[in-house]
Amino acid sequence: MEYLQLFNDNKEVINEKIDRKLKRTLNNDKHFMISLVFIENSKNEFLIQFTSKEKNSVFAITGGHVKYGDNSLDTAIRETEEEMSIKLDKEDLKYVNTTKDKYCYCDIYYVKKDIKLSNLKLEEKEVESVHWMRLDEINELIENGKFREKNILPLKQVLEYRST
C-alpha cells in the first residue's frame, strides 16, 4: 500500500495521507501532488518516456506522486533515478511552476543536461523506452493523442520558462 502526502488549498502540507488507490475520492480542500521533471539536452531535445503497458503505453514526461512525508523536489529526484537511473542533484533542478486541478497539484521542474540513453537502466514496470525528441515531434504526438494529456500544460509552461 502506497500513501500519498496531502496538501491544503494553499499548497501547504497537512499531516494527513491517503492510499494512492483512493486519491480520486478527495474533496475540494485536500489535494495530492505529483512532480514532473523536464530534461532538455544541448540540442534542445526533451527526454520523453514511452510508458509500459501497466502505465497505459503513452509518451510522457518523467514524474511521480509525492509520497507521505516527502516533498516535490525530493520526489522529482527519486522518480528520475528510479525510472531511468538518472541521478540529479537539487541544484540541477529549476522550479518552473505549479498547476492545480480538482484533486492534484503538479510541481514542474526543468533541467538542462546531456544524457547518453545507452547508459540508462529503465524501470520496466513503468518505462518501456526513452527518446530524445524535438518539439515538433512532441507536438505531433500531442496532435495524435499519443502524449499524456496531463503533461501538455506543464510542457507549455516549461517552454515559456526556458524562453525567459
Read out DSSP for 63-77?
EEE-BTT--HHHHHH
Mean pLDDT for the chain overall: 96
- Global pTM? 0.95
Contact status, residue 76 vs residue 88, Cβ threshold 8 Å: yes
Residue 77 clears pLDDT 90, i.e. is over it: yes
Confidence at residue 164, expressed as pLDDT on a 0 to 100 scale: 81
CA distances in angstroms from 87 to 27, 99, 144, listed in the order given = 36, 25, 32
pLDDT tens-digit readout, 106-139 = 999 999 999 999 999 999 999 999 999 999 999 9
CA distance 157 to 162: 9
Are 17 and 132 in contact by the 8 Å Cβ rule? The answer is: no
Rounded mean pLDDT, 75-93: 97
The arithmetic mean of pLDDT across residues 68-76, rounded, is: 97
In percent, the amount of the chain with pLDDT more than 90 equals 93
At 94 the pLDDT is: 97
Q: Would you state the pLDDT for residue 45? A: 98
How does 127-145 read in b/e, with b if 16+ C-beta sit within 10 Å? beebebbeeeebeebbeee
Residue 88 has pLDDT above 90, yes or no: yes
- The answer, yes or no, to whether residue 101 has pLDDT greater than 90, is no
**Residue 1: per-residue pLDDT:** 85
pLDDT tens-place string over residues 53-69: 999 999 999 999 999 99
